[in-house]
Amino acid sequence: MATILPHAARQVRHLEGQLLAQIGRWGYDEIILPTFEYLDVLAPGLETELLETCYQFIDRTTGRTLLLRPDATAQVARTVAMGLTGARFPQRLAYRTSVFRYEPEHAGRGREIFQIGAELIGLKDVTGDAEVITILIECLQSIGLRSFTIALGHVGFIKGLMARSGLSVRARKRAEQAAARKDLPRLEEILKAERIARSTAMAIREAPELTGRKEVLTRGRALAAGDSALLEPLERLAELYQLLCSAGYEDAVLLDLGEFRGVDYYDGAVFDVFAPGVGAELGGGGRYDHLIGRFGADLPSTGFALDVDRLFRAVAFPEETEGVPRIDYLVIGPQRAMSGVSEVAAQLRRRQFRVAQQIVNKSPRRLLTSAVQQGQAQGARAVVVIGMPGQNRSDEFTVIERAAHRTNPARNGRPSVKKMNLAALIKATQYMPNTPNINGAP
């Protein structure tokens, strides 16, 4: 579980702010989920494999087993099923959260996974699937990611092939896991062990490799051989694909009849998103019309989640250098000027600047030198010194602006030293670019 240091933390918060803002423009409201739950309460929404990777511990008060949140979608499903989000549908919910899963140390990923996600609940029409995929695409575009691919499939097709094959329940589960990983040798091994008919086995082996554009649907229909249980998911997938192409996203979407996600609660259209240079999916999602029913009544639902850490690696961020200011202003002065220091700092913060304030015990002659040193040490773009000798009015002060951060720095590189009052400083800030806050807003 990683510690995210200040420079990276600013970038991560900015990234999260952009993503949540984009999701919010579609009418999604943020929900904050609990970090841990009682195992028996959340277990109906979790797969056996996921339960095996949970961190579990005993509640000292009740003696019941608690677990750290391993899956946000299951928590949303439980919350909606309990009626806590109201009875009006569709509901649009978004979250920024961490999930915790035990991963072997050689697996190459953390055990705390930062996620941004969205869930659309109560809309069964294919337009709901199109909505969440469109939001996903817009989210990636909003953070500057231009090269990515969404692998889009329907679990009903490959599950239907396996159901038709006569695989035993246990073997079918193993085959589904192998198909989800695109592990064709393992899939072949399972089919041989179960003595599946050659023609049926060939169709199952072919499905995970059926990727492309419209021609994939044509081949899928041929493999379905008139079976309505296979044709129905194909037609739903075709309708969804057409909607996305009509919206201008044909280049971003790749049909994949072997797309499976490997999570049992998905029962419709599913998708993963990939980007060059990242050796795993950036996120994904799909339809889960029966997950909420594990906690109450069924509700058609679909959604997605993005792995913030992987997104962070996929997006180019500028490196922080020593010349980049950590704060906009340092307001500094002696003890007798404390009220002035506080007032000026507060005025600057109201204008959304990052401002530190400091009281120093220096002689009047050394105050200016000390202020410059403190400004450099704290990485301030400019220093406001209050209480300098010769400043007769209470609202007068000295502003020292580092040459590297001035709009028109002096050629000799020396800092600019000006006498100002508060009104003049406020006016000057109109022409000074400020830094973004943690939510990404200027």
pLDDT in tens, 187-246: 889 998 888 888 888 888 888 889 999 999 999 999 998 899 999 999 999 999 999 999
pLDDT of residue 182: 82
- Give the domain extent around 301: 6-314
Determine whether the annotation assigns residue 266 to a binding site. yes
Together in a domain, 264 and 383: no
Lowest mean pLDDT: which of 64-73, 98-107, 152-161? 98-107
pLDDT of residue 431: 57
Percent of the chain with pLDDT over 90: 54
Determine whether the annotation assigns residue 72 to a binding site. yes
Q: How far is CA 40 from CA 54, 98, 265, in A?
A: 13, 21, 18
User: What is the CATH number for 259?
Assistant: 3.30.930.10
Together in a domain, 134 and 158: yes
- Evaluate whether residue 442 is within a structural domain: no
Determine whether the annotation assigns residue 249 to a binding site. no
Q: What is the mean pLDDT of residues 157-164?
A: 88
E strand map for 124-233: 149-154, 211-212
pLDDT of residue 5: 87
Together in a domain, 278 and 182: yes
- What is the C-alpha to C-alpha distance for residues 398 and 386, in angstroms, rounded to an integer? 7
How many Cβ atoms are within 10 Å of 441's Cβ, its own excluded?
A: 11
Instruction: Show the DSSP H helices in 326-386 as ranges.
Output: 338-350, 364-377
- Evaluate whether residue 168 is within a structural domain: yes
Together in a domain, 284 and 338: no
Which one-letter DSSP state was computed for residue 127? H
Mean pLDDT, rounded, of the chain:
87
pLDDT of residue 416: 81
Q: 370-392: per-residue pLDDT in tens?
A: 899 999 888 899 999 998 877 65
Q: What is the mean pLDDT of residues 396-406?
A: 73
Together in a domain, 372 and 281: no
| pLDDT band with cut points at 50, 70 and 90 for residue 313 | confident
Q: Select from 314, 341, 358 the last residue of a domain.
A: 314
Determine whether the annotation assigns residue 115 to a binding site. yes
Determine whether the annotation assigns residue 101 to a binding site. yes
Together in a domain, 121 and 154: yes
- Evaluate whether residue 209 is within a structural domain: yes
Determine whether the annotation assigns residue 95 to a binding site. no
pTM listed for this prediction: 0.83
Q: Select from 286, 314, 342 the last residue of a domain.
A: 314
Instruction: State how many domains the chain has.
Output: 2
Determine whether the annotation assigns residue 376 to a binding site. no
Q: 318-373: per-residue pLDDT in tens?
A: 666 555 678 999 999 998 889 989 999 999 999 899 999 999 987 877 888 889 99
Together in a domain, 139 and 209: yes
pLDDT of residue 318: 65
Together in a domain, 249 and 293: yes
Determine whether the annotation assigns residue 73 to a binding site. yes
Determine whether the annotation assigns residue 38 to a binding site. no
Together in a domain, 353 and 375: yes
Together in a domain, 303 and 335: no
Together in a domain, 254 and 110: yes
- Evaluate whether residue 26 is within a structural domain: yes
Together in a domain, 410 and 296: no
- Evaluate whether residue 351 is within a structural domain: yes
pLDDT of residue 82: 95
